[in-house]
Amino acid sequence: MEGQMTNTDAWDPARYGTFGAERRQPFDDLVAACRAVPGGTVVDLGCGAGELTVDLHTAMGAARTVGLDRSTRMLDQARALGAPEGVEFVEGDIATSTLLPADLLFANASLQWIDGHRELLARLRATLRPGGQLAFQVPANFGHPSHLVAFEVAAEAPFAAALADDPPKNRGEEVLQPAAYAQCFYDLGATDQRVWLTVYHHLLASSAAVVDWVEGTMLTQFRSRLDPDTYAAFLARYRERLLGVLGDVAPYFYTYPRILAWARFA
Ligand SMILES: C[S@@+](CC[C@H](N)C(=O)[O-])C[C@H]1O[C@@H](n2cnc3c(N)ncnc32)[C@H](O)[C@@H]1O
């Protein structure tokens, strides 16, 4: 609607946290691949609401862990946690912030929001201290109807016109194949590495719950670009079309492939 502000910070810690247990599984798997950095420095890129940053800090035995995020709302929640000494939260953009030299750069479910992964990984690698590690997890479910239907609806009137100046793109266009990440690590001089794809699966109460899931993540790029009324209409149309594809199923078995990648450098 004319005159109404769009919500540029569309992240909502409560909504994102609804599926906290499910979203935690890949985090735990990625942490398990990392080597502890006793007394070292960790940077958690796209730290979100911070709970996992604190767990990462403890698991790695770090002296200092910096959570970086560009969402004020997520950071407000993180700062309200009462994090232990050594953990701090900083506002900044992964794509442009100067990062402090780290023993571990860690990114769980955040790098898919950044363009140009080859250049990004090279930049991250350059900020690592000797013997440093880079670890990230990115979704690989961009071909699932939960994602595709959103872009089909975005191409319909009136949404196409409302999004024309800054159209969101399916972030799967930026996520590389697992083998390409392994090649990047090799090209950047990794001395040890592991890249793997895991199909996580979540038994949701019903197919309608998929809408709640993606509202916490993928749909933020539509919420941030549309005024509230247009976003509400977009969401209603998305729900209708998605359930048309998935059926009204209870419970719903939601498959969720993810790429996990870890490397250590000289
Ligand atoms: C799906 S959440 C993951 C949060 C946390 N890592 C976790 O695993 O719970 C993605 C987070 O990345 C942040 N993010 C997205 N793009 C970013 C960017 N360019 N710079 C900094 N943070 C970004 C979002 O604000 C959001 O908090």
Q: What pLDDT digit, counting tens, does each position of 63-77 carry?
A: 999 999 999 999 999
What mean pLDDT is predicted for residues 123-127?
A: 97
pLDDT band at 7 (very low <50, low <70, confident <90, very high): low
Measured by CA distance, the residue closest to atom 23 of ligand 1 is 46
For ligand 1, the distance from its centroid to the CA atom of residue 96, given in whole angstroms, is 14
For ligand 1, the distance from its centroid to the CA atom of residue 69, given in whole angstroms, is 6
What mean pLDDT is predicted for residues 32-53?
A: 97
Asked if 168 and 231 touch (Cβ cutoff 8 Å), the reply is no
For ligand 1, the distance from its centroid to the CA atom of residue 45, given in whole angstroms, is 7
Neighbours of 241 (CB within 10 A): 16
Neighbours of 244 (CB within 10 A): 11
Work out which ligand 1 atom sits closest to the CA atom of 95: 19
User: Torsion angle of alpha carbons 44, 54, 139, 254, nearest 10°?
Assistant: -170
Measured by CA distance, the residue closest to atom 12 of ligand 1 is 46
Alpha helices for the chain (secondary structure H)? 13-17, 20-33, 51-60, 72-79, 117-126, 145-154, 159-163, 178-187, 209-215, 220-223, 228-246
SS3 label, residue 41: strand
pLDDT band at 18 (very low <50, low <70, confident <90, very high): confident
Encode pLDDT of 207-249 as tens digits.
999 999 999 889 999 999 999 999 999 999 999 999 999 999 9
Asked if 47 and 69 touch (Cβ cutoff 8 Å), the reply is yes
Q: Tokens in use for 144?
A: 């699932």
Looking at residue 4, its pLDDT comes to 38
| Mean pLDDT value across the chain | 94
pTM, whole model, 2 decimals?
0.94
Q: Which CA distances in Å does 196 have to 30, 166, 181, 259?
A: 10, 33, 10, 6
Name the residue with tokens 């009324």. 229
Q: Which CA distances in Å does 61 have to 136, 231, 260?
A: 19, 43, 21
Lowest mean pLDDT among 13-17, 72-76, 104-108, 256-260: 13-17
CA angle 62, 68, 69 (to 5 degrees): 150
Alpha carbons within 13 angstroms on the beta-carbon side of residue 81 total 22
Residue 21 pLDDT > 50, yes or no? Answer: yes
Asked if 148 and 218 touch (Cβ cutoff 8 Å), the reply is no
Q: What one-character DSSP code corresponds to residue 233? A: H
Residues with CB under 6 A from ligand 1: 11, 23, 27, 46-48, 52, 68-71, 74, 93-95, 108-110, 113-114, 217
Q: In what order do the strands lie in the sheet with 128-139?
A: 87-91, 64-69, 41-45, 102-108, 128-139, 252-265, 190-204
pLDDT band at 5 (very low <50, low <70, confident <90, very high): very low
Q: Helix 117-126 crosses helix 178-187 at what angle (to 10 degrees)? A: 40
How does strand 41-45 pair with strand 64-69?
parallel
